[in-house]
Chains A and B, each alone.
Chain A
């Protein structure tokens, strides 16, 4: 059986639905060039039968709000000295920044780099967000 040792300090993303692990891994990799990262796919789970797991070693502060947009099953475990010191389930964020691009080609955000728009959640079911500048609704797609 495949074994991966536990990390001493960092973040473990657990209970990722099978298949979503690779998508999240690809999203996180550009920010994790120096730290060890492990992606486990199709691991046995009592709760989900199969799951993906991502372990990020020596990572403390990274923006994980996009996880709620991908998979509401995910739990985030903060590890310190080999112990889980904090555990939380992801939620769909009410506001996002830096994750979405406005779908409206006429929006000022496409030509002004300082605009850095905030998007407000308008529909949980369709993951639709409204741009603070042009108010166009943009649906999140991975």
Chain B
């Protein structure tokens, strides 16, 4: 049997994504039913670059399912510092764990690992390329807060060039038949040309590009904020110039609909003022909590655990 991996969101059909969302909702409603379902299973978290939320979210997910976790959170404390390739590492880890979540600064590293792995690989973020479990988290959040995924008017704001969460999510939302997106970014950080072309050619979507939040905030259902990522810039001067491009504060929120939701993959730097946190439309911390449940559902799916009898 072929081992199933999650490298790109496209590795799962819309039907499978909906199935994951359903399982995550079931877990959220009755977590007790799932607390020992992964007893004796081990998740390896191989984090070659720093991460707080994603790694802890994976670990929390596995522990809440009754499983165990091993791994490293810094490449300098692993064999990588001795020059070991990811291909060798994954072949060894395949006999230590039942599935592995990999974060790596090099783009395509989890895919390479999946070619040599005997266990399911989850891409937990590879450079500026993909972050599919954030996409799952975002989908689950939209579903939980809005009741459906397809009828939403969504604006993405901030770093749309290097923001991998935006790339993954926007492609996935196209598969849910959303036909229009609003893109708010400085000229230097617009959505990559290739991706724009792909979205237009493959999905016939309309992309409205604007340069200020105020122009569109009153008409959208979801505002997806992103941080300007320092680690993606080769040149610090460029980062300093762009980091304050878009800041969401209470004066801008006053222009928004009452039921608009503000999402953010976190961590935040300064793009959302702290005063916004108190607004009921600010759901980014709840979004992070949803990430645990959807990762629990993903772990169950990749391990082939049958939980249909539970609900």
Contacts and interface: CB of A to CB of B under 8 A. Distances in A.
Interface in A104-132: 104, 106-115, 117, 131-132
Nearest to A105: B234
For chain A, give the interface size range.
10 to 19
Most buried by A among B86, B87, B108: B108
B218 interface: no
Contacts of B111: 108, 132-133
Given A115-B112, A134-B129, A108 B107 contact: yes
Contacts of A132: 108, 111
B66 interface: no
Given A106-B127, A137-B194, A131 B85 contact: no
Contact of A111 (B106, B116, B128, B194): B106
Interface residues of B, number: 17
Contacts of B126: 108, 134
A47 B49 CA distance: 59
Interface in B91-130: 104-109, 111-112, 116, 126-129
A135 interface: yes
Interface in B118-164: 126-129
Contacts of A136: 107
Contacts of B108: 107-109, 115, 117, 131-135
22 contacts: A106-B106, A106-B127, A106-B128, A107-B107, A108-B86, A108-B104, A108-B107, A108-B109, A108-B126, A109-B108, A112-B85, A112-B109, A112-B112, A114-B112, A115-B112, A131-B108, A132-B111, A133-B108, A134-B127, A134-B129, A136-B107, A137-B194
Given A107-B106, A134-B107, 19 more contacts: A106-B105, A106-B129, A107-B108, A108-B106, A108-B109, A108-B111, A112-B87, A112-B106, A112-B109, A112-B112, A115-B108, A115-B112, A133-B107, A133-B108, A133-B112, A134-B108, A135-B108, A136-B107, A137-B194
Interface of B: 85-87, 104-109, 111-112, 116, 126-129, 194
